[in-house]
Amino acid sequence: MPNYTNSTQPGLSLVDRRLIRKQRLRLTVINALVLAMIWIVLSAGVYFVLVERTTGQVDERLYATADRLVILPHGVNLLTPRHSQGLASGGENDDDDDDVLTALWVRQGGAFRVRTGSDLPADVRQALYSHLTNSAQASLQTITVGTVPYRLLSRQIGPHQILQVAENIRGEQDVLDDLLGLVTLVGLAGVALTIAGGYSLGLWTLRPFIAARRREQDLLSDVSHELKTPLTVMGTNLELLLRHTDTADESRLRWLSSVYAENQRMRKMVEELLQLARLDAGLELMEKVVVDLCDLCADVALLYEPVISERGLTFLWEQPAAPVMVLGDPSGLRQILYILLDNACKYTQSGHISLMLESDAHAVRIRVKDSGTGMPGEFLAKATERFARADHARKDRSSAGLGLAIANRLVETLGGKLHIRSQSGVGTEVVITLAAES
């Protein structure tokens, strides 16, 4: 199998390498943008939820403090003497929270004066005074006193009285600012890592494209190589015919026979390539009918038994006693068996060839086994690729190495699996597994 590394490998054209680099950059940018958008949305959501929750907790404390300072007897808002005495210093619980400011304002004429909280610093009183409101509804707002942020609750407690309770929220604000900075920093680092990692791993994402391009180039190279030899032979024989027009007819027939044989080989190879192209494109229509594999395998065995016996080999055909039914295409199944038995005949010089049919409740298995030359272990992974031939099979010019590729695609089209077991010098077994028809 191809070994992909983090660089464009030799064998690809300059145009392909440029296209791969461009695609890697494009994927990197898209991944970085997508990650940035996701991170912004999630981070903004988390940040604003925390802001809302933190602000809500502060507001609850402000309302609780205001409720402790105010009672409502007979529907009239009054400030109790007990609370008014400690209001300027933050109320009765001020010892527990020094960051709470309270002030009670009373309207006199057209202005307000502070009734409780006069000991507050002048800048604090001025800041609180500037945020007084005549609204009957309590108001909440964030103000800044000097450089210190406060959350302020203004609440009217009588016709001429307004209570203000403010809490220092610098601690909460610092935590939120740190969180915002951390989220921004992590987001930028994540985008940077995405760009670096995305470009480094971009080639891994493009593996299918690279593999397809290499298969295409290998196919063109192999087709060119396979067609070159018969064309050379045909050209040579035709040249001899033209040079020796006065030669006896028997010699001309020998040269014409060579031309015809090479023509037939080219024709077969082109037909196989066209069939593979149709299978890849899904244009090879497969008929789905219930097929009795026992009868079909028996017919194929009857055809091949004399051919195998003529080569001095032993042919074994085994089948279950009961019929074996599958849903498939009869012509496609026959072609698969023809290919497997042809290969077994070509690469078996002595010994035996067997065709076995097995079945259980869920699956049907067709086994074609021979005692031929076998395949080396490193070749098994690519045995079903196009133009794949082991070293010992390259001398056989009658095959272009497309048989197993076609058989494998036919089996896949029928919804089955093809598995090859082989050992060099021992033999080969091909197992086809199909779903049983209940």
The two three-digit tokens of residue 343, written as one number? 């290969």
List pLDDT tens digits, range 336-393: 999 899 989 988 888 999 999 998 888 999 999 999 888 887 777 777 776 665 554 4
DSSP class of residue 297 equals: H
Strands 352-359 and 314-318: parallel
Where does the pLDDT of residue 7 fall: very low under 50, low under 70, confident under 90, or very high at 90 and above?
Answer: very low
* Interatomic CA distance for residues 283 and 336, integer angstroms: 18
Domain boundaries, given as residue ranges, for the chain: 206-284, 285-438
Same fold yes or no, 206-284 and 285-438: no
If we measure between CA atoms, which residue out of 204, 196, 205 comes closest to residue 32? 196
pTM, two decimals, is 0.49
List pLDDT tens digits, range 278-325: 776 666 667 788 989 999 999 999 999 999 999 999 999 988 878 888
Q: What is the mean pLDDT of the chain?
A: 76
* Interatomic CA distance for residues 414 and 338, integer angstroms: 16
CATH 3.30.565.10 fits 285-438, yes or no: yes
Cβ neighbours, 10 Å, residue 66 = 19
* Interatomic CA distance for residues 276 and 136, integer angstroms: 85
Tell me the CA distances in angstroms from 404 to 96, 150, 184, 187, 358, one per residue in order. Answer: 85, 80, 57, 52, 21
Instruction: Give me the architecture of the 206-284 domain, per CATH.
Output: Orthogonal Bundle (1.10)
The two three-digit tokens of residue 157, written as one number? 């407690």
If we measure between CA atoms, which residue out of 328, 318, 346, 330 comes closest to residue 404? 346
